[in-house]
Amino acid sequence: MTSPTLVLVTGATGYIGGRLVPRLLAQGFAVRVLVRTPSKLDGVPWHDQVDVVEGDLSSAEDTERAFQGVHTVFYLVHSMGSGSDFEEQERETARLVATAAERAGASRLVYLGGLHPEGVELSTHMRSRTAVGKVFLDSAVPAIVFQAGVVIGSGSASFEMIRHLTENVPLMPAPSWVQNRIEPIAVRDVLHYLVHAPLVDADVNRTFDIGSRDVLTYAALMYGYGYEAGLPHRRIYALPIPAPMLAGWWVALVTPIPHSMAVPLVQSLQHDAVAQEHDVDDVIAPPAAGLTDYRHAVRLALSKIEDGVVETSWTGASSGKPYEPLPSDPDWAGRTVYVDDRSRTGDAPPAAVWKVIEGIGGDNGWYSLPAAWVIRGLADKVLGGAGHNRGRRNPKTLVVGDAVDWWRVEHLEPGRQLRLRAEMLVPGEAWLELTAEPEGTGTRYRQRAIYFPRGLFGKAYWWAVWPFHGLIFPSMARNILARAARDAEQG
């Protein structure tokens, strides 16, 4: 029986690497990862299916140990560092990796660089990425260097910049580079090319431009995101702002992307990023369903809500889709999420608490400040929303899809958890999740209000209603447990 081909992934805790590993496993490859901090992999679903080697790429000893028996080395790391010796450090690490791959008898190096035009002065980071690719192409091990533009997927730094700028700034004076031409690519298409790279003929040693064939201006990327996210039309005005550093500071100010990352991202946008050739089709067939256009890629990145996987965005689980979050993604990645999370313990048994939870709403009310709920419901009705008086199908039991006043049952785990999705008018998406868990002889009751804002107004709405949460939700939790205790005493 033939052993599976062993491949090594560096950067496995990063955005692309973390999504590539499970796809390599699914294709039948044996996978080894070289990481400096193995504990960062504890939350990913595939960590026990790979060979984890602790080490550093700058250590010849570590790379020699990690590269033994490897057919293909995926080099998916790129520092966002700075300093006068930054570029030389990047090249030196690449040379060390190429040497280690040669000594280990590896058959292929695979690197993901950036799209850029020829004959122009590149930014420091883009120049460094190009130089790393050249090191691999000049080495004794055949290399495939993919060059991609803006990668579209929840968690991609480039996409998150588009997301947060569009959501946070409805009227935007912007540098002239927003008119530059960009060819984005969906993360699932990037992964398609990477997964098939080890199968390319051994004599192939070159760069390949990869993209969606969908060429847009950066401003059009933002407009497209706004449309797919349901935001009001954004207005973007290109101004002759010459300093990329200044624009980078501004991006860091109005988005949660760290300054150390925002500046290089902005610098990389000073030129068009469009594929100059499509020769990759000669060695790797396109995805069976075709390349993903930009709007579709954005819809996929936003689809974690529609797909009903809301819980995965804060429990650390993952559906395994490449365009959705991973626990290893940075904190600023993904849509903004606000959560009001409260827990209390009570003496009533879980069954009694669950009975109150399942009976909530309708004639039973919401166990806190009834007048506040009525006023909010009237306002919602006046504005054309569902209002607060739809009641319930059954006063005691629920099924998924039931209306409960201005909520709808989205998830029901009988005896344990109820999650309601708001159908009131809010500038975003909102849920209320109620959970009863055994604790000692009683119950721990957990109550979470979860909100995904839409745009700047959506964020302002959360902070406007935040003071009322402090009035409503503590007493709601307290009164639900008190009602359960009374019901338990009365049998």
Q: In Å, how far are 6, 65, 73, 344 from 61, measured between CA atoms?
A: 20, 6, 16, 52
Structural domains of the chain ordered from first start: 6-315 (3.40.50.720), 338-490 (3.30.530.20)
CA 143 to chain centre: 29
DSSP letter at 273?
Answer: B
Question: Which of these, 237, 122, 105, 225, lies nearest to 166 by C-alpha position?
Answer: 225
Spatial CA neighbour of 398 closest among 429, 357, 353: 357
User: How many CB atoms are located within 10 Å of the residue 73 CB?
Assistant: 30
Per-residue model confidence (pLDDT) at position 81 = 55
Cα–Cα dist 197/116, whole Å:
21
What is the structure's pLDDT at 343?
Answer: 93
The predicted pLDDT at position 325 comes to 46
Walk along the chain (491 residues) and give the pLDDT tens digit of each residue: 467 899 999 999 888 998 899 999 999 999 999 998 888 887 788 889 999 999 999 899 999 999 999 999 999 987 655 556 778 888 999 999 999 999 999 999 999 999 988 888 888 888 889 999 999 999 999 999 999 999 998 878 888 889 888 888 888 887 788 899 999 999 999 999 999 999 999 999 999 999 999 999 999 999 999 999 888 888 988 877 655 666 777 777 777 777 777 788 888 888 899 999 999 999 999 999 999 999 999 998 887 544 433 322 222 223 345 544 444 455 545 567 788 899 999 999 999 999 999 999 888 888 988 777 777 777 766 666 656 667 787 888 888 888 888 889 988 999 999 999 988 888 888 899 999 999 999 999 999 998 888 777 888 888 888 888 888 889 999 999 999 999 988 86
Rg (the chain; Cα; Å): 26
Tokens of 187: 């993360």
Q: What is the pLDDT of residue 265?
A: 82
The answer to pTM > 0.75 is no
Nearest-10 Cα torsion for 109, 115, 118, 120: -120
Bridge partners (DSSP) of residue 470 are: none
What separation in angstroms does the CA of 310 have from each of 313, 325, 431, 432, 450? Answer: 6, 11, 9, 12, 9
Using alpha carbons only, give the angle 265, 124, 216 rounded to the nearest 5 degrees: 40
What tokens does 228 get?
A: 């797919």
Bridge partners of 146? 112, 208
Give the type of residue at 102. E
Which positions ≥6 away from 180 have C-beta within 8 Å?
A: 217, 218, 269, 270, 271, 272, 273
Two structure tokens written together for 449:
């209000």
Beta carbons of 4 and 318 less than 8 angstroms apart: no
User: How many CB atoms are located within 10 Å of the residue 141 CB?
Assistant: 23
Are 212 and 183 in contact by the 8 Å Cβ rule? The answer is: yes
Beta bridge partners of 109: 73, 143
- In angstroms, rounded to a whole number, what is the distance separating the alpha carbons of residues 271 and 189? 23
Q: Which amino acid is present at 442? A: G
Rounded to 10°, the helix 294-306/218-228 angle is 30
C-alpha 150/C-alpha 158 separation (Å) is: 6
The answer for 403, left when phi > 0, alpha when psi is -120 to 50, beta otherwise, is: beta
How many residues are listed for the chain in this entry? 491
Ramachandran quadrant class, 397 (left: phi over 0; alpha: psi -120 to 50; beta: rest): beta
